[in-house]
């Protein structure tokens, strides 16, 4: 099993990796299928199912699908060009995608939110259709957005296709935390060193080094933008952006000896909230492992760099590699999708990854790192996903702050032990998977239960 650090951390756009990035990626894949097809196409249609339908408007799934069909991809998304393209499509009822004839597409008719018929493979299903001049369907594909921006066709999902096996062999192919620790003992390498060797086998050290630097740059830029931007978030809930005000207050208090020791929690929160406010505003973020949970890991890393004595930027890559190793285990053995397993799979996974990264760069042994990840995930077990109005704002923004605080506490507790503990990380991940299966659909990114139905006037 191999999931690259660049699969876990992808530069993309808000507000959701599964509901915004995934559908855009699926549409881009469908365009490629059309380009390589012998048929002549005249129009396209799309239908959104399950959670993609229920929370699609709040998560901008409709916009993402249309823009994907027009050739946009998350990595190079240009917000200004996107608005102009959407206006043109609405006016002309046509899509112009590179390498294809102009395609008939009326967003009010050809994009359907199907609330009645969920698709069988996954809660986030979508069907894309291409038609000929007579309106007959000549190409059809079902895609599933399985979390974190990952997308599979119906056939790939049914075959359990693991594309991570494609490519050169990797030296440390651990599929569980137990295997990871065994390989660490037998090789004498820590988790980041094993992960680095795996990445090098697939993409080369130079690519890895440049890529991880860029990831942190995008994460940190996102924190900075969030801490300097005011206003009301889009979507109609009238949620006020708070990160700037909190950051300004924290800066004003610096050196004045006014604050209680727990003020450090506000720093962790403000970094995370800054990211998630940017995400909610549709800005550029890095999945970590998803958009909804994108603030936890950058906040924990920024906390390390700014507040931990002796911290060094030289350790950023080790932090990201260790976190990606843990995220890969969670995704492979359970889920990182809120629509599949609730928020325990998103913010819980993010906290486990961040705790592992922090523990590692603070000198933790592989056993302590595994312990840190387990503590962080264990104390998110059972957490539901119930975003108000289908927007990735409430409870998501604050929840990322609390996720970062738990991650730091988990790393600290693990560092105070010797790595021995009762609940193995593998057992915790399996518990998360089973709890996700048992969880009512109301609490899996459908906004049909929980906070989403108990807030007045929403
Ligand atoms: S509640 Fe959690 S899983 Fe659901 S959208 Fe918000 S961050 Fe994502």
Over the stretch 35-53, which tens digit does the pLDDT of each residue have? Answer: 999 999 999 999 999 999 9
pLDDT of residue 180: 98
Question: What's the CA-to-centroid distance between 278 and ligand 1, angstroms?
Answer: 15
Whether 137 and 266 share a structural domain:
no
In the predicted model, what is the mean pLDDT of residues 282-294? 95
d(CA 421, CA 425): 10
In the predicted model, what is the mean pLDDT of residues 145-159? 91
Between 360 and 17, the more confident residue is 360
In the predicted model, what is the mean pLDDT of residues 435-444? 97
Q: How confident is the model at residue 164 (pLDDT cuts 50, 70, 90)?
A: low
pLDDT of residue 78: 86
Which residue range is the domain that position 116 belongs to? 17-163
* Number of structural domains in the chain: 2
Tell me, using a 6 A CB cutoff, whether residue 292 lines ligand 1: yes
For ligand 1, atom 6, name the residue with the nearest CA.
Answer: 396
Within-domain flag for 228: yes
Q: Which numbered atom of ligand 1 lies nearest the CA of 338?
A: 3
Tell me, using a 6 A CB cutoff, whether residue 366 lines ligand 1: no
End residue of a domain, out of 163, 178, 200: 163
In the predicted model, what is the mean pLDDT of residues 436-455? 95
Whether 239 and 376 share a structural domain:
yes
Question: What's the CA-to-centroid distance between 328 and ligand 1, angstroms?
Answer: 19
pLDDT of residue 69: 97
First to last CA, the chain: 43
For ligand 1, atom 4, name the residue with the nearest CA.
Answer: 385
End residue of a domain, out of 133, 163, 193: 163
pLDDT of residue 256: 81
Tokens of 223: 């924190």
Within-domain flag for 78: yes
Whether 137 and 215 share a structural domain:
no
Within-domain flag for 412: yes
Tell me, using a 6 A CB cutoff, whether residue 392 lines ligand 1: yes
pLDDT digits (tens, 9 = 90+) for 368-395: 999 999 999 999 999 999 999 999 999 9
End residue of a domain, out of 125, 141, 163: 163
d(CA 169, CA 429): 26
Residues 6 or more apart whose CB falls under 8 angstroms from that of 70 comprise 85, 89, 95, 96, 97
pLDDT of residue 1: 84
Mutation pick for ligand 1 pocket among 52, 350, 396 (CB with most ligand atoms within 8 Å)? 396
Tell me, using a 6 A CB cutoff, whether residue 327 lines ligand 1: no
Within-domain flag for 9: no
List, as own/partner pairs, every contact residues 126-129 make where C-beta atoms lie below 8 angstroms and the sequence separation is at least 24, other chains included.
126/23, 126/26, 126/46, 126/47, 126/48, 126/49, 126/52, 126/65, 127/46, 127/47, 127/49, 128/26, 128/27, 128/30, 128/44, 128/45, 128/46, 128/69, 129/44, 129/45, 129/46
Tell me, using a 6 A CB cutoff, whether residue 429 lines ligand 1: no
Q: In whole angstroms, how far apart are CA 380 and each of 16, 173, 430?
A: 20, 27, 13
- Whether the pTM exceeds 0.75: the reply is yes
């Amino acid at each position: 099993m191999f999931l690259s650090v660049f699969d876990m951390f992808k530069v993309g756009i808000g507000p959701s990796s599964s509901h915004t990035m995934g559908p855009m990626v699926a549409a881009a894949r469908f365009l490629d299928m059309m380009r390589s097809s012998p048929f002549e196409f005249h129009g396209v249609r799309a239908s959104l199912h399950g959670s993609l339908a229920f929370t699609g408007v709040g998560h901008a799934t409709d916009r993402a699908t249309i823009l994907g069909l027009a050739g946009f991809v998350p990595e190079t998304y240009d917000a200004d060009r996107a608005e102009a393209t959407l206006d043109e499509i609405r006016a002309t009822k046509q899509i112009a995608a590179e390498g294809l004839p102009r395609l008939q597409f009326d967003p009010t008719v050809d994009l359907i939110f199907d609330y009645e018929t969920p698709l069988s493979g996954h809660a986030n299903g979508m069907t894309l259709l291409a038609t000929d001049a007579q309106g007959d369907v000549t190409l059809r594909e079902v895609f599933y957005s399985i979390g974190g921006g990952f997308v599979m066709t119906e056939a790939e999902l049914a075959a359990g296709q693991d594309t991570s096996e494609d490519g050169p062999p990797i030296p440390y192919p651990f599929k569980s935390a137990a295997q990871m620790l065994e390989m660490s003992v037998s090789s004498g390498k820590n988790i980041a060193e094993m992960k680095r060797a795996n990445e090098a086998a697939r993409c080369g050290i130079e690519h890895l080094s440049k890529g991880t630097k860029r990831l942190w740059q995008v994460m940190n830029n996102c924190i900075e933008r969030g801490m300097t931007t005011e206003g009301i978030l889009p979507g109609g809930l009238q949620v006020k952006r708070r990160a700037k005000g909190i950051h300004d207050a924290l800066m004003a208090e610096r050196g004045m000896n006014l604050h209680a020791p727990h003020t450090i929690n506000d720093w962790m929160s403000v970094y995370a909230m800054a990211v998630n406010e940017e995400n909610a505003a549709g800005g550029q973020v890095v999945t970590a492992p998803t958009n909804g949970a994108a603030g936890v890991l950058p906040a924990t890393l920024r906390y390390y760099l700014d507040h931990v004595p002796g911290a060094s930027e030289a350790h950023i890559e080790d932090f990201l590699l260790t976190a990606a190793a843990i995220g890969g285990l969670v995704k492979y053995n359970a889920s990182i999708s809120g629509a599949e397993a609730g928020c325990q799979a998103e913010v819980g996974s993010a906290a486990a990854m961040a705790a592992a990264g922090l523990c590692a760069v603070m000198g933790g042994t592989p056993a302590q790192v595994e312990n840190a990840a387990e503590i962080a995930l264990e104390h998110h077990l059972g957490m539901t996903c119930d975003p108000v109005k289908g927007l990735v704002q409430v409870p998501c923004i604050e929840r990322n702050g609390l996720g970062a605080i738990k991650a730091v506490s988990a790393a600290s507790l693990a560092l105070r032990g010797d790595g021995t503990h009762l609940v193995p990380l593998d057992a915790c991940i399996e518990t998360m998977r089973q709890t996700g299966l048992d969880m009512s659909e109301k609490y899996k990114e459908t906004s049909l239960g929980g906070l989403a139905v108990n807030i007045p006037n929403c």
